[in-house]
C-alpha cells in the first residue's frame, strides 16, 4: 500500500485544526471556570495549597454500604469555611466503590485538617487512617515550577530550530517546529477537556511529558526529512510532492513500528503504574500519537506546499553534497 499524503493534505490539516480548536475552546471555558481559573486544571504543584484524600474503612460493617454523596461533602466543607474547595469522589480501583474523597483547598494547618476529617467522618463514615493522604505545596514553589517548565520548552524548541537549520534548511526547521507545536497543543487541549469533564489535573510531570513528546516527535520528522534530502540529491528535477510521498512511504513502517512498541510500554504504565504515573503515561500516549501523525501528515505536507509555492525543490546539505535546484 502506498500513501499519497499530499493529495489529501487539506483533510489532514482539517483533522488537526478540529482537535486544536476543540482544545482552545476547552481552555477558554476552563479559564473562566471559577474552580479552575487556568487553561488546564492545575495540581498543587502549580497553584499551592493543601490536598487531602480520605478513604473509608470498608472493614467495618456497614461503613461502605452507600456511595459517598458529594453534596454532603460540599456542605461539610462549607461549614468548615472551605466552600470554594475543589472536591471529587474517588472510585476504588480494586472494588469499584465510591469510597474516597479528594479535596483541594487553601493551606490548612493540622487543627483545620483534623476538624474537617472529623466532620466528614460523622457524615459519610469512618476513614481508614492508614490510607489518608495530606500534601501541601507553597504558591512560590508552584509558580517557579511553571516558569522553569516553560523556559525548558522554549529552550528545547530553540535548540531544535538551530540543529535542523544547520543540518537541513531553515524551512525544514520551521515546519518541524510547527509539527511540535501541533503535538503540544493537542496534548494540552485534550488534558484541558479531561480537566473539565473528569477533573484531570496537570502537575510537574506533565511538563516532563511535553519535553519527552518534542524529542520523540522531532526524531520521527528528522528521519522523513533525511529521506527527502537524499532523494533531492539524486533527483533534483523531480516534483517535490512525489519526493515527499516516497519519503513518507519508505519510512512509514519504521514510524508505525517505533510508535506501537513504545505504546505497549506506556499502556502498561498507564494501567499498572499507579496514580502518580497515570497522567504522565496518558500525556505521552496522546503526544506520541500526535507526534507520529504530525511527522507524516503535517510537517511533510507543509514543506511540500512551501516548496511548491516558491517553485523550488532545492536543498542545502552538508559539504558531502552540493546545492541543487529546479524551477528557479
Q: Could you read off the pLDDT of 191-206 as tens digits, one per residue?
A: 999 988 888 888 878 8
CATH 3.30.1600.10 fits 49-137, yes or no: no
Cα(225)–Cα(300) distance, integer angstroms? 8
Residues of the chain with CATH 3.30.70.3220: 49-137
Residues of the chain with CATH 1.20.1640.10: 6-36+141-310
Residue linked to cell 474503612: 57
DSSP code of residue 202: B
> Which pLDDT does position 204 carry in this prediction?
79
Task: Give 227-239 pLDDT, tens digit per residue.
Answer: 888 888 888 778 8
pLDDT value, residue 287: 93
What pLDDT is stored for residue 281 in this prediction? 92
Overall residue count recorded for the chain in this entry = 328
Which residues in 92-143 belong to E strands, given as ranges? Answer: 98-105, 133-137
The whole-number pLDDT of residue 94 equals 58
Residue 316 confidence (pLDDT)? 42
pTM to 2 decimals? 0.72
pLDDT at site 140:
58
Enter the DSSP assignment of 92: P
The low-confidence residues of the chain, meaning pLDDT below 50, are 313-328
**What pLDDT, on a 0 to 100 scale, did the predictor assign at position 96?**
60
Domain 6-36+141-310 has CATH 3.30.750.24: no
User: Under a CB-based contact definition with an 8 Å cutoff, are residues 177 and 81 in contact?
Assistant: no
Task: Give the helix/strand (H/E) hosting 53.
Answer: strand 49-55
List the beta bridge partners of residue 102.
Answer: 53, 88
CA distances to 3, 8, 29, 93 from 277, rounded to whole Å, are 36, 37, 27, 15
pLDDT at 326: 38
| Nearest residue to 255 (alpha-carbon basis) of 189, 188, 300 | 300
Amino acid at each position: 500500500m502506498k500513501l499519497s499524503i499530499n493529495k489529501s493534505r487539506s483533510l489532514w490539516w482539517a483533522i488537526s485544526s478540529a482537535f486544536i480548536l476543540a482544545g482552545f475552546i476547552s481552555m477558554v471555558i476552563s479559564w473562566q471556570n471559577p474552580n479552575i481559573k487556568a487553561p488546564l486544571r492545575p495540581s498543587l504543584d502549580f497553584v499551592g495549597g493543601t490536598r487531602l484524600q480520605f478513604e473509608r474503612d470498608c472493614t467495618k460493617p456497614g461503613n461502605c454500604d452507600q456511595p459517598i454523596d458529594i453534596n454532603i461533602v460540599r456542605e461539610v466543607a462549607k461549614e468548615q469555611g472551605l466552600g470554594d474547595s475543589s472536591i471529587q469522589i474517588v472510585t476504588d480501583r480494586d472494588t469499584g466503590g465510591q469510597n474516597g474523597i479528594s479535596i483541594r483547598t487553601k493551606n490548612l494547618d493540622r487543627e483545620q485538617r483534623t476538624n474537617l476529617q472529623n466532620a466528614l467522618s460523622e457524615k459519610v463514615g469512618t476513614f481508614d487512617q492508614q490510607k489518608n493522604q495530606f500534601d501541601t505545596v507553597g504558591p512560590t514553589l508552584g509558580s517557579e515550577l511553571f516558569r522553569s517548565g516553560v523556559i525548558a520548552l522554549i529552550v528545547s524548541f530553540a535548540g531544535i530550530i538551530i540543529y535542523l537549520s544547520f543540518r537541513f534548511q531553515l524551512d525544514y526547521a520551521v515546519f518541524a517546529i510547527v509539527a511540535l507545536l501541533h503535538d503540544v497543543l493537542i496534548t494540552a487541549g485534550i488534558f484541558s477537556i479531561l480537566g473539565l469533564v473528569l477533573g484531570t489535573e496537570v502537575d510537574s510531570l506533565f511538563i516532563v511529558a511535553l519535553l519527552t513528546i518534542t524529542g520523540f516527535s522531532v526524531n520521527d520528522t528528522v528521519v522523513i526529512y533525511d529521506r527527502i534530502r537524499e532523494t533531492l540529491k539524486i533527483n533534483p528535477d523531480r516534483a517535490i510532492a512525489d519526493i515527499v510521498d516516497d519519503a513518507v512511504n519508505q519510512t512509514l513502517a519504521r514510524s508505525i513500528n517505533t510508535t506501537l512498541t513504545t505504546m505497549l510500554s506506556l499502556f502498561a504504565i498507564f494501567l499498572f503504574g499507579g496514580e502518580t504515573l497515570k497522567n504522565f503515561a496518558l500525556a505521552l500516549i496522546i503526544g506520541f500519537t500526535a507526534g507520529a501523525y504530525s511527522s507524516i501528515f503535517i510537517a511533510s505536507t507543509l514543506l511540500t506546499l512551501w516548496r511548491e509555492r516558491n517553485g523550488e525543490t532545492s536543498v542545502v546539505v552538508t559539504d558531502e553534497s552540493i546545492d541543487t535546484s529546479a524551477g528557479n
